[in-house]
Amino acid sequence: MNWTLMGLNKIKKDFLIWEKSVIHRVLVCAGTGCLVNGSMKVYEEFLKIVEESGLNVIVELKGEEEGIWVSKSGCQGFCQIGPLVTIMPEKILYTKVKPTDVRDIVETTLKKGELLHRLLYIEPNMQKICKTAEDIPFYQRQSRFVLNKCGAIDPEDIKEYIAHNGYLGALKACTEMNPEEICKTITASGLRGRGGGGFPTGKKWDMARMQLNEKKYVICNGDEGDPGAFMDMGVMEGNPHSIIEGMIIASRAIGADEGYVYVRAEYPLAVKRMKKAIEDAYKLGLLGRKIFGSDHTFNLQVMEGAGAFVCGEETALIASIEGKRGMPSPKPPFPAQSGLWGKPTVINNVETLSTVPLIITEGVERFRSMGTENSPGTKTFAITGHVLNTGLIEMPLGVTLREIVYGVAGGITNDNGQVMPDGFKAAQIGGPSGGCLTIEHFDLPIDFDSLKKVGAMVGSGGLVIMNKNTCMVSVARFFMQFTQSESCGKCVPCREGTKQMLSLLDDIIEGNADEKTLEILEDLARAVQIGSLCGLGKTAPNPVLSTLKYFRNEYEAHVKNKYCPAGKCKALIKFTIDEILCKGCGVCVNKCPSGAITGEKKKAHKIDPYLCIKCGACVEHCKFKAIKGDMP
């Protein structure tokens, strides 16, 4: 034990000494969002330009060496202003960096120590120029606990993770704590599963620990499939060793000797970095036989999933690993009793496992100092939609929607991205399995219990914000179409019920529904909720039921008046021409693809509603604004 602790401390000490010899560190965000916007080209340009400038380029920190250390990081969170480049030790944050900006950064900042103002972030609401991430409200208002190292370290460098106290939690768990003590610590922390239902993690572990079986498994659920959600992806790409360390601790707690990291194949970068992290951990003896010189053995591998949303459900995920079709099984028995190949299995999601090492090293009190009594700690959210600032954020549980929308996200925007005062309409939280929050929930604490009371759930952390121009019937249809297509088809209520619910929503949007349709839709939703086998089917009706509850007037407008209050449902739009404004120029006649517009030159034209296909080409090309998309 002492030799192992000394080994970790030596790696840490050496790394920090080497780091001090570096003149500047250039940290290029290499999370998926920035990579899509060309951050690898920025990274490669830095290597080239720094060398051309006569400065020593350091690609990998191996010893004391003066120069410019150019490295990659995971997602830094503020995706919409990427590619992001951080210059250390000054902490300067440059935004929307292009390869053509690199030479100026090298000459101005790295050589002269001066700021390149055009690349600094300007806070729109206050017109404040922000030099560092700490100056930006998007970061200032967060509590980055799990995400603390994401974006700050090289995810492919195990030594840098160790230099930031990495694997000390696993060392303590394997050499100083027995399985029962670990379970009691996690139970005392109040940690609840961050993947959906919020089940107490310590209770799940203890159930598996007490099973009398020599073979047990630990599985990390990285099958993140909610539309707009990328929390787990951000952690896997930005700090993969935290997941491995959490799994080592979990394996020690329940007595497992084997584990799987289940990642959807649509996350190629996460797969790549998880595999490298596991390989590097094996090389240092942090995985395998007799970890840290203890009697504990733990082997780990990555399993790529085919991208089925249902495989986020525990039993369907287990079936997938076993080589079967990903379909859920009835519970009990629970996986902690009989899981992978019939053996006791603990399944936790990425964020849950990344939180575990921090609880072991920083203590229960530190963790419980954040969040609420029954929902302690923090939660990551992928915030998207009609807000000024989108990206990956982390907030203490118990935070209000108001704080997220106006504090971190910078306020509501219209469809053109401009700030829209008092424009909030709704927020879909928890993805397709979640529910809708309205203005009346603006000050409701976002935690497991409070959301459950209003028919919503934290879920994995997807948070879609919508403005007043959003049609809530269309939103419900979007999520219903997703869950219907992702249904595994095993049980009739889910397979047929979601299909019929989608058909009813289509009737409403297309103007073919009557008042009876809403009754049928609501009754069917309740039946699917009660009768479905797994969590996908049981929660699939949530978006429909919550929008029916809070926006029933919109449904009724569609059904009774054949009218979409948001003006988004194409079939319900009626185009008309203002006879006073129309000059009879004939442009609309030429642009109409269906021949629905007729009229003589220099006289007001007319639109035949039976021929009109609602394409909007006439509105787009009318110079006199004479054509309106009016509602009946």
Sorted by where each begins, the domain ranges of the chain are: 2-140, 158-368, 378-470, 473-560, 573-630
For residue 350, give the nearest of 297, 298, 402, 392 by alpha carbon: 392
Q: Which of 186, 161, 489, 482 is nearest to 348 (CA)?
A: 186
pLDDT tens, 47-92? 999 999 999 999 998 888 899 999 999 999 998 899 999 999 999 9
What angle, rounded to 10 degrees, do the helices at 231-238 and 268-283 form? 40
pLDDT digits (tens, 9 = 90+) for 622-631: 999 999 876 5
Is pLDDT larger for residue 421 or for residue 547?
A: 547
CATH of domain 2-140: 3.40.30.10
The region that residue 519 occupies, defined by phi over 0 for left and psi between -120 and 50 for alpha, beta otherwise, is: alpha
Fold of 473-560: de novo design (two linked rop proteins) (1.20.1440)
**Residue 147 binned pLDDT confidence (cut-offs 50, 70, 90):** very high
CATH topology of domain 573-630: Alpha-Beta Plaits (3.30.70)
> What's the pLDDT band for 307 if we cut at 50, 70, 90?
confident
Indicate the residue type of 136: I
Residue 489: the pLDDT is 84
* Cβ–Cβ < 8 Å for 397, 378: yes
How much is the average pLDDT of 310-317? 89
Q: What pLDDT, on the 0 to 100 scale, is given for residue 630? A: 64
Closest CA to 182 of 242, 263, 251: 251
State residue 39's pLDDT score. Answer: 96
Q: What share of the chain is helix, strand, coil (3-state, %, to 5)?
A: 45, 15, 40
> From the centroid of its chain, how far is CA 196?
13
- Find out whether 491 and 500 touch, Cβ atoms under 8 Å: no
Q: CA 50 to CA 53: how far, in whole Å? A: 5
**C-beta of residue 545 within 8 angstroms of C-beta of residue 554:** no
- CATH superfamily, domain 158-368, is NADH-ubiquinone oxidoreductase 51kDa subunit (3.40.50.11540)
Residue 207's Cβ-count burial label (10 Å; 0-12, 13-18, 19+) is middle
Mean residue pLDDT across the chain = 93
- What is the pLDDT, as a whole number, of residue 1? 42
**Paired tokens of 59:** 């690609």
Name the pairing type of β-strands 574-577 and 606-607.
unpaired
Residue 213 has pLDDT above 90, yes or no: yes
Rounded to 5 degrees, φ, ψ at 146 are -70, -35
Q: Residue holding tokens 């896997």?
A: 236
Residue pair 155/147 in contact (Cβ under 8 Å)? The answer is no
DSSP-derived secondary structure letter, 406: I
Residue 216 has pLDDT above 70, yes or no: yes
Q: Mean pLDDT, to the nearest integer, of 10-36?
A: 94
Quote the tokens at residue 241: 């060793």
Please tell me which residue, 257 or 128, carries the higher pLDDT value: 257
pLDDT in tens, 563-603: 899 888 888 888 899 999 999 999 999 999 999 999 999 99
Binned at pLDDT 50, 70 and 90, residue 613 comes out as confident
Rounded average pLDDT over 338-366: 97
- Tell me which of 282 and 632 has the higher pLDDT: 282
- The domain 378-470 having CATH identifier 3.30.450.20: the answer here is no
With a cut of 70, say whether residue 632 has pLDDT above it: no
439's tokens: 């203005």
Backbone angles phi, psi at 629, to 5 degrees: -90, 70
